[in-house]
Amino acid sequence: MSLDDTGLSGRPRPRHRLLAILGTLLGIAIFLLVVLWIHQWTRERVANLDRYTVAFADVDCLPPPDQSRAEFLAEVQYLGDLPDQLHLLDPNLPGRLQDAFARHPAVDKVLEVKVLPTRQVQVRLSYRRPKDRVQDHPILNNRAAK
């Protein structure tokens, strides 16, 4: 340090200390932005790999008492306009599944949707009583007529 950089006491001036702190904070901010960019880039690259998908037919849920699981899931998939393969890394997947299951006339409430690290999707539902269900669901009836 030269005499110009220090005061009479030999300590660095406040302006130089401030520049050092700002430089350090800028370096940390740039590092974090790079880490976030790499995370996003990697996620986009692996999201469509088979290892990060699961068949909609493999969604784990209990069907209504008067339907088979396969029939129930087919109706939910149709009503929710969902694909045959679900992308597990899709951040909107739980919300999309919740909407699709909630559209089914037998479902009273979607209690929980879990996307597990073991490549499983679990959905917990509560169902309407049979007498409270909409018997003539227009979309399902039109589909059955085709």
- Helices and strands: H and E segment counts in the chain: 4, 4
- One-letter amino acid at 5 equals D
Average pLDDT, the chain: 84
Rounded Cα distance between 71 and 48, Å, is 27
pLDDT tens for residues 38-56? 988 877 776 566 778 899 9
Q: Please report which confidence band the pLDDT of residue 106 belongs to, taking 50, 70 and 90 as the band edges.
A: very high
- pTM value is 0.64
Rounded Cα distance between 60 and 125, Å, is 11
Predicted pLDDT of residue 25: 95
